[in-house]
C-alpha cells in the first residue's frame, strides 16, 4: 500500500504524534535534570482525543522559602488533538468564504480536525518564547449507511491545512531572528518560492496587538485555508506553491520538521546567559503583552473560550507561568536601551531572511 | 444658589474629585512609609480630562538582587475622567434599548461622561483585591448657537448613573465578606430597600467567568442605566428605589462614600497576616483569573481597547502587577483546603448581608 492509499486523516495523526515525540524529546534532552514533560491524554466526550505534554517549573513546596533549582524552561506545552463532530451552519457559512466547494447548508455538517500546537516559555530573559501550530481540517457529507457500518467518514466536501511558527524575544538578538527565519524560509522555499514571503507577511499581520501598536514578536510564518483551490494570499494561480493535498502535506511536514532546528540552537546559546532582576522584570512585562494578545485577539483562543465543553486547560496552556503589568512603565521607552531596541522592531517588522 | 441649580455635570465632577482625594488619602494614611500615589493628569484631545492616581510597589533597581521593602499595596489605581464628544449612531442605537427618551437618530449625538474607577491589589495574599466604579452619562441635542456661545451643552435627551463595587479575595474570610456586603447594603437600603437585592444579583451575574464556571470574586453591587425611566432590573414601578436625578445622585454618593468604610477595615486587619510562598502562589493564580475576566469579558475594557485613541494605560490599570497561570493546577482542588473553600464560594455565590 503506497502512502497515498492511507487516508490523509490517518497520515496526519501519525505525523503529528511523531512530531510531538520528537519535539518533547529535544527539550528533555537539553535539560536532563529537569522533571520530564507531563503526558496527559484526554478524550473528548463528543468525539476524539488528545495528548498534552506539558512542562512546568516545579513550584516551591508549601512553606518553603527557598527558590527551587532553575530549569531551562519555565512553562511549555506541546499538544496534539484529533477530534471530530458536527459543525453548525454559522461556522460552515464562515468557511465558505475561503472554500467554494462548501455548499450553503441549513443543517450541521460532519468535521474532522487534527493538529499540533506548542508554546515554549523559557526561564532566561535572553531566550525567546516560541509558538507553533500545524493543523488539518476536513468537512464531509454525512456517511452513508454502508460507510457508517465500516466506520468510515462521508464523502469529502472540503479540506485544508493551516499553521505557522513565530518567535517572541524579550531581548533582540539579530542572529537569533535571522536563524529562525532562515531555517523556516529554507523549509518553505523547497516547496514553492512564493510561500515564505506570503506567509511571513501574514504572520506579521496576524500577531499584531492593535491597542499597543506593536507586534507580539518578531514573526515567522502564518497560513490558513491552504488547499487545491485559489487562495486569497496568492494573487495569481501561477504562484510557486504546493497545490495538491500530497504537495501541501509535504510542505507542512517540512515546516513542522523545521521547528526543532529553527529553535533549539537559539535556546542552547541563550539559556545560560547571566541575567539581572531588571531583565527578568522586562521579560515579565513582555509576557503580559503575550497574555493580552492571546486573550484579546487570538482567534483560536477566543473561539475555544466560547465553545461549551471545550478543554479550557489546553486552550490556556499558551499563557506564561508569570506575567507582569506596570502602569506607564519606563521600560522600553529609554532611547538606545536594549528594551527600546526590541520595541522598535515590534513596531516596525523587519525582513530577516 | 441651591445645589440643584448647579448642573449635574458639575456636581458629579466635584463629587468624584473629592471622592478620589478621600480614597487615595485613606490608602496613603494606612501606609505612610510607602511612596505616595503618583498623580498623573491627562487631556483627551477630542474633549475632556482625567486624573489618574496610581500606586506601584517600587521595582528593584537595575542589577539589584535584594527585594525592596514590602508595601501594603502592590498595585492600585484610583482614576477619574470627565469627557465629552460625539457618539456615533450604532452606539446610540444600543442605548435606546434602556432609554426610551432617546430618538432613533441617523447622525452622531453629543455625550458627556464622568466617572471614578478604582482597582486595589494589596500585596498580602490574605488581603482581598477590590474594584469600584461610579459614573454618570448624558446625551444631549446639539447646542443652539446661543448655548454654544455661552459654552453650554444642548438640551438634555437622556441621562443615567451606573456603578458598583466588588471584592475579590484569594482566601475567604467570611467576616470580611459580611462586612463588605453589610456596609454596602446599609448605604443602599437608606435609598430604597429594593436596591441591594437587585444590584447584588446583577453583580454576581456580571462578574462571572463562563469558561471557568466561577465568579471573579465574592461580589458586591453592580448597576447601570439608573434614571427616571422604568428599569429592567425592577419588575414593578413601585420598587423601593430612587427615581429622580436628585435621589439617584444621593444614592450614588452614599455608595461612593461607603467605599472607604467597606474596604479599609478589611485591609487593616489582613495586610500584616504572615503568609507563605504557597499562599502567594495561589494569590497569583487568582490574579490570573482576574486578568482573564478583565481582558475577555469586561465590557468597559473591551470597549476601551477597541476605541481608537483611547488611553490604554488607564484602561489596563486594572490589571495586577503579577499574575500566574498553572496547567491543571492542583491548587483549589484539594478537598477541605483553604483554596478549595474559596473556589466553592466562587462557584456558588452566597448571600452575605
Q: What's the pLDDT tens digit per position in A249-283?
A: 999 999 999 999 999 999 999 999 999 999 999 99
Chain B residues with CB inside 8 Å of A63's CB? 276-278
- Check residue A73 and give its pLDDT: 97
Q: Do A60 and B313 touch (CB under 8 A)?
A: no
Q: 3-state DSSP: chain B helix, strand, coil percent, rounded to 5?
A: 40, 25, 35
Which of B52, B295, B320 faces A296 most closely, judged by CB atoms? B295
ipTM for this model: 0.93
- Going by the DSSP 8-state scheme, the letter that residue B3 receives in this structure is G
A59: pLDDT strictly greater than 80? no
Single out the residue of A299, A270, A306 nearest to residue A129, CA to CA: A270
Look at A326 and B321 and tell me if their CB atoms are within 8 Å: yes
pLDDT of residue B2: 55
CA distances from B33 to B28, B37, B69, B70 (A): 9, 12, 10, 10
pLDDT in tens, B16-45: 999 999 999 999 999 999 999 999 999 988
The catalytic site residues of B sit at: 131
Query: Which residues, in sequence order, are CB contacts of A181 under 8 Å at separation 6+?
Result: A200, A219, A220, A352, A353
Q: Using alpha carbons, list the distances in angstroms from residue B18 to B50, B54, B255, B273.
A: 14, 16, 14, 31
Residue A349: CB partners within 8 Å, gap ≥ 6?
Answer: A204, A215, A218, A219
Looking at mean pLDDT, say which of A66-75, A208-217, B67-76 comes out highest. A208-217
Average pLDDT over residues A227-242: 91
What are the residue ranges of helices labelled H in chain A? 8-30, 89-96, 145-149, 174-189, 195-206, 245-257, 259-270, 277-292, 299-306, 312-315, 338-347
A146 by Cβ neighbours in 10 Å (0-12 / 13-18 / 19+) ranks as exposed
Q: Are A269 and A189 in contact (CB under 8 A)?
A: no
**Do the chains contact at B322 and A56, CB–CB below 8 Å?**
no
Of all residues in chain B, the one with the smallest CA distance to A330 is B59
Q: Which of A121, A126, A131, A179 is catalytic?
A: A131
Burial state string for B133-145 with b = 16 or more CB within 10 A and e = fewer than 16: bbbbbbbbeebee
**Mean pLDDT in chain A?**
93
DSSP state of A7: -
Instruction: Please report the pLDDT score of residue B94 as a whole number.
Output: 84
Q: What is the pLDDT of residue B1?
A: 46
- B276's CB contacts (< 8 A; 6+ apart) are A62, A63
Q: Which residue of A has its CA nearest to B274?
A: A63
Percent of chain A with pLDDT over 90: 81
Residues of chain B with pLDDT under 50: 1
Q: Which residues contact B121 (CB under 8 A, 6 or more apart)?
A: B73, B74, B75, B76, B129, B287, B320, B321
Among B40, B62, B211, select the one facing A305 at the smallest CB separation.
B211
Contacts for B8 with CB less than 8 Å, ≥ 6 apart: B136, B138, B159, B245, B249
**pLDDT reported for residue A96:** 86
Which cell numbers hold the place of B45?
484631545
CATH superfamily of A3-347: Coproporphyrinogen III oxidase, aerobic (3.40.1500.10)
Give tens-digit pLDDT for A99-132: 888 888 888 999 999 999 999 999 999 999 999 9
- Is the model's pLDDT at A1 over the cut of 60? no
Report the pLDDT value the prediction gives residue A65, as an integer from 0 to 100. 57
Contact B54 A327 (CB under 8 A): yes
Amino acid at each position: 500500500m503506497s502512502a497515498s492509499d492511507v487516508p490523509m486523516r490517518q497520515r496526519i495523526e501519525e505525523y503529528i504524534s511523531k512530531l510531538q515525540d520528537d519535539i518533547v524529546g529535544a527539550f528533555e534532552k537539553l535539560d536532563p535534570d529537569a522533571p520530564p514533560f507531563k503526558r496527559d491524554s484526554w478524550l473528548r466526550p463528543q468525539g476524539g482525543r488528545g495528548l498534552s505534554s506539558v512542562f512546568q517549573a516545579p513550584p516551591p513546596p508549601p512553606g518553603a522559602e527557598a527558590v527551587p533549582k532553575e530549569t531551562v524552561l519555565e512553562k511549555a506545552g506541546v499538544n496534539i488533538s484529533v477530534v471530530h463532530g458536527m459543525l453548525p451552519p454559522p461556522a460552515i457559512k464562515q468557511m465558505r468564504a475561503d472554500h467554494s466547494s462548501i455548499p450553503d447548508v441549513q443543517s450541521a455538517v460532519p468535521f474532522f480536525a487534527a493538529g499540533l500546537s506548542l508554546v515554549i516559555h523559557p526561564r532566561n530573559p535572553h531566550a525567546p518564547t516560541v509558538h507553533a501550530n500545524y493543523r488539518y481540517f476536513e468537512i464531509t457529507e454525512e456517511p452513508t449507511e454502508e460507510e457508517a457500518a465500516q466506520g468510515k467518514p462521508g464523502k469529502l466536501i472540503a479540506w485544508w491545512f493551516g499553521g505557522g511558527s513565530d518567535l517572541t524575544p524579550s531581548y533582540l538578538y539579530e542572529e537569533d531572528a535571522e536563524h529562525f527565519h532562515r531555517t523556516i524560509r529554507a523549509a518553505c522555499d523547497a516547496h514553492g518560492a512564493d510561500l515564505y514571503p506570503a506567509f511571513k507577511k501574514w504572520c506579521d499581520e496576524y500577531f499584531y496587538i492593535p491597542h499597543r501598536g506593536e507586534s507580539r514578536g518578531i514573526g515567522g510564518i502564518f497560513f490558513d485555508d491552504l488547499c487545491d483551490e485559489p487562495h486569497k494570499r496568492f494573487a495569481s494561480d501561477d504562484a510557486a506553491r504546493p497545490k495538491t493535498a500530497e504537495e501541501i502535506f509535504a510542505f507542512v511536514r517540512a515546516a513542522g520538521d523545521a521547528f526543532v532546528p529553527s529553535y533549539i540552537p537559539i535556546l542552547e546559546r541563550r539559556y545560560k546567559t547571566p541575567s539581572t532582576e531588571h531583565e527578568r522584570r522586562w521579560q515579565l512585562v513582555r509576557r503580559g503583552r503575550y497574555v493580552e494578545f492571546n486573550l484579546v485577539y487570538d482567534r483560536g483562543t477566543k473561539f475555544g473560550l466560547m465553545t461549551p465543553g471545550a478543554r479550557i486547560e489546553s486552550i490556556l496552556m499558551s499563557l506564561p507561568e508569570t506575567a507582569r503589568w506596570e502602569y506607564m512603565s519606563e521600560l522600553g521607552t529609554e532611547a538606545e536601551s536594549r528594551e527600546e531596541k526590541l520595541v522598535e522592531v515590534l513596531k516596525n517588522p523587519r525582513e530577516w531572511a
